[in-house]
Amino acid sequence: MFSICVCCTFGTLFLSSGIITTKLYQNIENKIKLTRPIVITVVFGIFFVAFFSIKELEISSEVFKNASNILFLGGFLFSTSLALSLIFLLRTKEQLVEIESSRHQLLQLQEESRAALTSAQAGMWSLDLKTNRVIWDDYMHLLFGVEPKRFKGTLDDVMESIHPKDRNAILSNLKNAAENGARIDSIFRVIRSDGSTHFIRGNGQLFYDAEHKPISLKGICFDVTDMMLSQNYGVISEAIAQTLANGDSFHQVITDIFQILNNYMGWEVIIIWENSRSPNLHCTQFISSAPEKHVKFQQAVQNTTITKGEPLAGVAWATSKLAFSRNISEEEHFLRTDITKEENLQGSIAVPIFANGTIHGIIELYKSTPFIEQMDSAFISLMHNLGRGVGQFQRRKIAEAERDELASVVKAAPDAIYIYTLDGKIKSWNPGAEHLFGWEKQEILGQEIYKILPSEQYAEHKQTVELCKQGKVVSSFETVRKKKDGTLFWVTKSASPIYDSEGQLIAISNILRDISKEKREYLSVAKNEEKFRAFVETTADWVWEITSDGLFTYSNPSVYPILGYSAEEIIGKDLSSLLYDTLEKKRIKEEIAQSVVKQIGWTQRMIRLCHKNGQLRYLQGSAAPHFNETQKLIGFRGSDRDITETVKLENIKAQFVSIISHELRTPLTSIFGSLGLLVQKEMPPEAYKELLTIAYRNSERLLHIVNDILDVEKLAQPNIKIPLQPVPILKVIQEALSSIHYLAEKSQITMEIQGEIRAVVLGNYERLMQVIINLLSNAIKFSNVGNKVTVSVELFPDTIRVNVIDRGVGISEELKPKIFSRFVQCDSLGCISTAGSGLGLSICKSIIEQLHGQIGFSSKFGEGSTFYFDLPLYREGHA
């Protein structure tokens, strides 16, 4: 029983210690649950109570016997349970400290969270599900742009600020959260009272009451506009890039870009300004999302041009930077302010269209809300990329158009245009090349370039490649190419290197023009020119060209034999310096001036020029005027023939006629006079004989003259030869002397023969006699009365010389050179007779020359003359 009491006591003690400990805990912090230590303590307590109760019941007698044992056991149990309690207590104390610190931390956290919310520009909201009332903190009002006093706290009030397109989504989110406890997390647009649109992210969840009934939705909202926009910029950029990449026409691309800008950014009008046609910007495209709203603006834009610096496009143009206006309708300097106001256009930005570092135009964007976008790097880069992309597109399209044009030119060109790789493989071949070479494109592509080269041109081809490798363009030159059928033809060729995008030489392009026809013509012209040059250079006539001032610009070589100057000496010389005398200079100067005025040449004009050696030259020729491209007369071209000899001959002829007439008239005067007197007048008988003698003598003289003239003519004919025969020279001389004896006697001239008179010559008897008589009669005629005339014969190995020597007047130096010419008569200076035809010596010369001999003379004026002739000696078998 005792033990039961003891046990009960200990059990109670134990229990109470547990409870005390637990209570202690609870006093310290009733908020912290101590379920486990209490349960453990209670279980232990019950276990001990039960254990000892059972034990007591079985072994009470023994227990009592050993009271100290019991005491010990009781003390042990108590101390153990106390110790355990203390351990628990200590642990609970530690936890208590921890809890306290956690609580502190939580409070700190709560403060920090609030600060974070504030710094994150987040606002808190709650919606009471029973009343449907909305409670906002201050920041919510800022986020929604609604003044607190104007906020009625209804859901409809909230919905009014939300973009109409986002309202349904928000309502459905709230509903879903309220009904199904789903978390709220959505992004929606808010249109603030100032008209600006902002992206807001709202988070929240459902809250319950103690009975687990939903009572409210609570959460926070924060502004994610920047994030959304920058996310959108990526999308916009991508969309624009795709449009630009796939776009066909500039107009279409702008339309598509506008769609993107309209959808994502709310731009309502796009204007493309360009300055390709004028120094100012003018509108080339105007697109509006609501054209009917912007009729006036469109008209105004299309009827205006913008100068540099003029808002808004002009500013972007001048600065090469983005230009924007928050609200263009408030801009003072914007010329269309009134219209923008009227048509409600506010936000505006101007973006330069860039390509290759140059502005090619401006994109202008307008919208009916203010421009509130942050001008941050994302936005600026989006806009710049837009401008650059559009510019590059435009350039690309222009380049493509040019390329297409070029391609069509290449296709249509009559020239052969082809490209070959550096290893000589043909890789491009235009229709012109097909036509020219006869090779179809498909059969020549990939073939060796040598297919179209004659082997003589291989070296030229290699040289072209070398030049192209040095980056040089081979300018047009003439060469030869080979057709498919092997025929060769003339072309002009030019070649240029082709580089890849990295500047590496990859191929060479050639342009060939068929010049076969021109070449043929040229060759024929050249041939003709060569022909005419040959004519001009070889003709004996002097061919020349002079300026209208009379300076020689061309002369053929014939000028040398004519005037003694080389062609080179003549070129640049003044014609007047060649004219023989001042009279001629005056005449020619006037004639050329006349020709210049009348723009005509001249025909068969005689001109007297001075040979380099000072001698007079007669030239006769014709000329034609020579005009320049503007039909201005710049000179004359013509040719002249040296007619000096002809003129001399003409003079001789005139002289001849004059002489002949005189020579004939002189004996005729005597004949005609004497016979006339006899016939018509009564004459005394003694006069008859005298007059008849005169008539007879002069008839003889006349006959002699006529014979001489005929003789000259006969000897001049080349086909009449004098027959050769052996002639004993003595016999001829003797007969000549006797036949002329009467003349010598009359003039008291003595004649003698000297020398080798027995020689026989090869000649003609009659003709030799004629020569000797002639020489003798001259000797007598030009001797003074009483002089001696000697005929001497000298013998040489093969020839003899016959001299006829007189001691008469001799021959003047002036006359000596022309003594053997026809109709030359000497003054006889009081000699015996002057009667003669002037043909004698000329006849003698002709005869002696025909007899293979030579005739000559020596004479000293006033002392006499010696005329001689040499003839070959006759040898057997000669004749």
Partner 1 sequence: MPKKPLTKVFFVDDDKDILTVAKFALEKMPHVTMEYFLSGEEAIQHALKAPPDMMLLDVKMTPIDGIALFKTLQLIPTLSHIPIVFCTGRAQTIEQEEYRQLGVFDIILKPFDPIALPSQIQSIWDRYQEEE
* Torsion over CA: 860, 866, 871, 873 (sign): negative
Minimum CB–partner distance for residue 681 and partner 1 (Å): 6
Of 639 and 812, the one with the shorter C-beta distance to partner 1 is 812
Q: Does 704 bind partner 1 (CB under 8 A)?
A: no
Q: With binding defined as CB under 8 A, does residue 674 bind partner 1?
A: yes
Binding part of the chain for partner 1, among 383-391, 607-615, 791-799, 824-832 by CB under 8 A, reads 824-832
For residue 743, state whether it binds partner 1 (rule: CB under 8 A): no
Q: How far is the CB of 850 from partner 1 (least distance, A)?
A: 32
* CA distances from residue 13 to 19, 204, 373 in whole angstroms, order as listed: 10, 54, 78
Measured from the CB atom, is 114 or 662 closer to partner 1? 662
Considering the complex, state which of residue 659 and residue 759 has its C-beta at the smaller distance from partner 1: 659
Give the integer Cα–Cα distance in Å for 852 and 854.
Answer: 7
Pick from 327, 421, 547, 666: which binds partner 1 (CB under 8 A)? 666
Tell me: does residue 369 bind partner 1 (CB under 8 A). Answer: no
Distances (CA, A) of 794 to 408, 724, 762, 878: 103, 21, 15, 21
Binning the chain into helix, strand and coil, the percentages to the nearest 5 are 50, 25, 25
668 binds partner 1, rule: CB under 8 A: yes
Nearer to partner 1 (CB atom), residue 473 or residue 703: 703
In this complex, which beta carbon is closest to partner 1, that of residue 452 or of residue 702?
Answer: 702
Task: Tell the smallest beta-carbon distance from residue 652 to partner 1 (Å).
Answer: 15
Nearer to partner 1, 498 or 683 (CB): 683
Q: Is 579 exposed, middle or buried (0-12, 13-18, 19+ CB in 10 A)?
A: buried
Shortest CB 662 distance to partner 1, Å: 4
Of these, 316, 559, 570, 691, which contacts partner 1 (CB under 8 A)?
691
User: Binding to partner 1 by residue 13, rule CB under 8 A?
Assistant: no
Q: Which is nearer to partner 1, 107 or 657 (CB)?
A: 657
In whole angstroms, the minimum distance from the beta carbon of 861 to partner 1 comes to 13
The dihedrals phi and psi of 772, each to the nearest 5 degrees, come to -65, -40
Q: Which residue do the tokens 């603006």 mark?
A: 297
> Strand order in 122-128's β-sheet?
134-136, 122-128, 214-223, 197-208, 184-191
- Report the residue number, 376 or 690, with the smaller CB distance to partner 1: 690
- Cis amide linkage into residue 312, ω under 30° from 0: yes
What is the distance between the alpha carbons of residues 228 and 188, in angstroms, rounded to a whole number?
10
Q: Which stretch binds partner 1 (CB under 8 A): 256-264, 449-457, 518-526, 666-674?
A: 666-674
Quickly tell me which residue has 């009379």 as its tokens: 550
Report if residue 834 touches partner 1, rule: CB under 8 A.
yes
Q: How far is the CB of 670 from partner 1 (least distance, A)?
A: 4
Q: Does 828 bind partner 1 (CB under 8 A)?
A: yes
- Are 637 and 541 in contact, with CB atoms under 8 Å apart? no
Between 674 and 764, whose beta carbon lies closer to partner 1?
Answer: 674
- Asked if 669 interacts with partner 1 (CB under 8 A), we say yes
Q: How far is the CB of 830 from partner 1 (least distance, A)?
A: 6
243 binds partner 1 (CB under 8 A): no
Minimum CB separation of residue 565 from partner 1 in Å reads 34
Q: How far is the CB of 789 from partner 1 (least distance, A)?
A: 20
Q: Note every long-range contact of 170-178, with CB atoms under 8 Å and residues 24 or more positions apart, other chains counting.
A: 170/202, 174/127, 174/217, 177/204, 177/205, 177/206, 177/217, 178/129, 178/206, 178/214, 178/217
Beta bridge partners of 348: 325, 366
Q: Which of 707, 782, 700, 722 is nearest to 749 (CA)?
A: 782
664 part of the interface to partner 1, by CB under 8 A:
yes
- Which of 407, 616, 657, 710 is in the footprint of partner 1 by CB under 8 A? 657
Q: How many CB atoms lie within 10 A of CB 818?
A: 12
Short-list 147, 227, 196, 199, CA closest to 327: 196
> Taking CB under 8 A as the criterion, which residues in 44-83 touch partner 1?
none
Q: Check residue 33 for interaction with partner 1 (CB under 8 A).
A: no
Nearer CB in complex with partner 1: 174/811: 811
- Which strand ranges, in their side-by-side order, compose the sheet holding 552-555? 552-555, 542-547, 633-642, 616-627, 602-610
How is residue 730 written in tokens? 């003595």
DSSP state of 566: -
Q: Which is nearer to partner 1, 165 or 681 (CB)?
A: 681
Alpha helix stretches (DSSP H) within 641-764: 644-680, 685-716, 729-746
Q: How far is the CB of 684 from partner 1 (least distance, A)?
A: 9
Least distance in Å: CB of 734 to partner 1? 30
In the complex with partner 1, the residue whose CB is nearer, 665 or 758, is 665
Please give the Cα distance from 623 to 542 (Å, whole number). Answer: 12
β-sheet bridge partners, residue 318: none
Give least dist CB 840 to partner 1, A. 16
Query: By CB under 8 A, is residue 291 in contact with partner 1?
Result: no
Q: Note whether 865 binds partner 1 by CB under 8 A.
A: no
662 lies in the site for partner 1, by CB under 8 A: yes
Total Cβ atoms within 10 A of residue 85 = 22
* Residue from 673, 726, 755, 872 binding partner 1 (CB under 8 A): 673
- Pairs from 137-141 (Cβ < 8 Å, separation ≥ 24): 140/221
Q: Quick one: which segment of 40-48, 345-353, 726-734, 827-835 binds partner 1 (CB under 8 A)?
A: 827-835
> Is there binding between residue 694 and partner 1 (CB under 8 A)?
yes
User: 125 pairs with which residues across the strands?
Assistant: 136, 219
Per CB under 8 A, 829 contacts partner 1: yes
Q: Which is nearer to partner 1, 560 or 656 (CB)?
A: 656
Q: How far apart are CA 362 and CA 350, in angstroms?
A: 6
CB of 669 to partner 1, least distance (A): 4
Determine if 672 is a binding residue for partner 1 (CB under 8 A): yes
Q: Which of 159, 182, 536, 687 binds partner 1 (CB under 8 A)?
A: 687
Residue 257 burial (10 A CB sphere; 0-12, 13-18, 19+): buried
Instruction: Choose the binding region for partner 1 from 589-597, 655-663, 720-728, 843-851 (rule: CB under 8 A).
Output: 655-663
**Nearest-angstrom CA–CA distance, 171 and 163:** 12
Applying CB under 8 A, among 81, 479, 670, 747 the residue interacting with partner 1 is 670
Cβ neighbors of 620 (< 8 A, separation 6 or more) are 604, 605, 606, 607, 640, 641, 643
Count the residues of the shown chain that bind partner 1, applying the rule CB under 8 A. 32
Q: Which of 56, 76, 64, 60 is nearest to 13 (CA)?
A: 76
706 binds partner 1 (CB under 8 A): no
Based on CB atoms, which residue is closest to partner 1, 329 or 698? Answer: 698
**676, 723, 786, 862: which one binds partner 1 (CB under 8 A):** 676
Sheet holding 474-482, edge to edge: 426-429, 416-421, 505-514, 488-499, 474-482
Q: How far is the CB of 833 from partner 1 (least distance, A)?
A: 10
CA 809 to chain centre: 90
Which chain residues interact with partner 1 by CB under 8 A?
A: 657-658, 661-666, 668-674, 676-677, 680-681, 683, 687, 690-691, 694, 697-698, 827-831, 834
